[in-house]
């Protein structure tokens, strides 16, 4: 194991910036966030990085490490032996400063999702197998790495046409709740733009929680929209049978 590692960290704000190199003493089991904390304490006290729990529970420390969207607290430095570790802010959101980006768009969209509308009062009777799927979705830590990597948002900046994987998963957990009576299909087809996803599964690959975003969330939502809007007769039959 080397004694020292080199990090090249983006420093800048909305007016621009560049990477700056820092040397950090190597420690066993160190994660990239540890290295950034060392830099803050010794070299650059104003280095901006968002973090909270340092245990991969909160989803605050999202960034791009050597080009891959990752959580800083969960990425081991010893995965990069012999390399310079390049740390940059998430690409798909405006930079506030250094590694901190403005993710407020995600919260705006979350607020626009019609909430849970239960059919009955609690306590509910629900079987575990009926909630396994939505528990998978509710394991999301809102790190927005999926939003960052989604090429519809990243390469095409089509935030006005597609709300992105995180929002699809939020809608999926409501739509698939056995006791929810809400209907978000029109929203999905329209403003939320589920049709914009063309199933490249990049979101699933980067999800630090291992949520099968595309296969378990987005594709079933696409099917629901297709059933109702592109198979109107079948949709009507199903509606009447509900």
Partner 1 sequence: MSEDIAYHEYDVLVIGAGGAGLRAAIEAAEGGLKTAVLGKSLLGKAHTVMAEGGVAAALGNVDPQDGWETHFYDTMRSGHFVSDYRMAEIHAKESPDRVLELEYWGAVFDRTPEGKIMQRPFGAHTFRRLAHVGDRTGKELIRTLEQKLMTLDVDVFQEITATKLFKDQDRVAGCIAYYRDDGRFAVFTAKAVVIATGGWGKAYKVTSNSWESTGDGAALAFRAGAELADMEMVQFHPTGMTWPPGARGILVTEGVRGEGGLLFNSEGERFMEKYDPARKELSSRDVVARGIYKEVKAGRGTPHGGAWLDITHKGAAFIKRKLPGMYEQLLSLADVDITKSHFEVAPTIHYTMGGLRVEAQTGATSVPGLFAAGECAAGLHGANRLGGNSLSDILVFGRRAGAGAMEYAKNAKMPKIDGAEVQAEMQRVLAPLARTEGENPYRLHEELQEIMANHVGIERNGPSLEAGLQKMQELRERTEHMQAKGSRQFNPGWHGVFDVQNMTLLSEAILRGAIARKESRGAQWRTDFPDEMEDQGRVNYVQRLTDHGIEVRPEPVPQMPEELAALFKRGVAPGLANSARKE
Site residues, partner 1 (CB under 8 A): 13, 27-31, 34, 40-41, 45-60, 74, 76, 96-98, 100, 102-104, 107, 110-111, 115-116, 118, 121-128, 131, 134-135, 138-139, 141-142, 173-174, 177
Nearer to partner 1, 88 or 222 (CB): 88
Distances (CA, A) of 45 to 76, 109, 220: 22, 34, 47
Least distance in angstroms from the C-beta of 57 to partner 1: 5
Least distance in angstroms from the C-beta of 173 to partner 1: 8
Least distance in angstroms from the C-beta of 179 to partner 1: 10
β-strands 68-71, 62-65: how paired?
antiparallel
Cross-strand partners of 187? none
**Residue 82 zone, left/alpha/beta (φ > 0; ψ -120 to 50; rest):** left
Q: Which of 189, 172, 182 is nearest to 227 (CA)?
A: 189
Nearer to partner 1, 79 or 231 (CB): 79
Nearer to partner 1, 29 or 82 (CB): 29
Q: Which of 86, 54, 95, 94 is nearest to 72 (CA)?
A: 54
Q: Sort 137 into a burial class: Cβ within 10 Å, 0-12 / 13-18 / 19+.
A: buried
| Residue pair 146/164 in contact by the 8 Å Cβ criterion | yes
For residues 86 and 155, what is the distance between their CA atoms, to the nearest angstrom? 21
Nearer to partner 1, 4 or 198 (CB): 4
* 232 CA to centre of own chain: 33
Least distance in angstroms from the C-beta of 234 to partner 1: 30
Least distance in angstroms from the C-beta of 216 to partner 1: 15
Least distance in angstroms from the C-beta of 15 to partner 1: 11
Give φ, ψ of 206 to 5 degrees.
-90, -10
Nearer to partner 1, 56 or 205 (CB): 56
Nearer to partner 1, 41 or 81 (CB): 41
């Amino acid at each position: 194991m080397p004694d020292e590692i080199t990090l090249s960290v983006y420093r800048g704000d909305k007016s621009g910036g560049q990477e700056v190199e820092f040397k950090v003493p190597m420690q066993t089991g160190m994660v990239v966030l540890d290295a950034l904390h060392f830099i803050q304490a010794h070299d650059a006290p104003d280095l901006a990085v968002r973090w909270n729990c340092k245990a991969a529970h909160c989803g605050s420390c999202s960034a791009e490490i050597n080009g891959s969207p990752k959580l800083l607290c969960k990425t081991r430095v010893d995965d990069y032996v012999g390399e310079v570790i390049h740390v940059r802010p998430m690409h798909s959101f405006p930079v506030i400063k250094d590694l901190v980006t403005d993710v407020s768009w995600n919260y705006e969209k979350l607020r626009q999702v019609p909430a849970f509308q239960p059919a009955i009062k609690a306590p509910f009777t629900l079987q575990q197998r009926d909630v396994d799927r939505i528990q998978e979705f509710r394991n999301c830590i809102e790190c927005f790495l999926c939003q960052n990597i989604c090429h519809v948002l990243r390469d095409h900046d089509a935030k006005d046409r597609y709300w992105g994987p995180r929002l699809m998963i939020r809608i999926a957990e409501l739509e698939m709740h056995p006791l929810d009576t809400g209907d978000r299909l029109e929203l999905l087809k329209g403003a939320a733009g589920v049709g914009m996803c063309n199933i490249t599964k990049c979101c699933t690959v980067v999800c630090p929680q291992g949520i099968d975003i595309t296969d378990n969330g987005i594709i079933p939502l696409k099917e629901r929209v297709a059933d109702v809007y592109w198979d109107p007769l079948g949709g009507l039959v199903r509606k009447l049978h509900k």
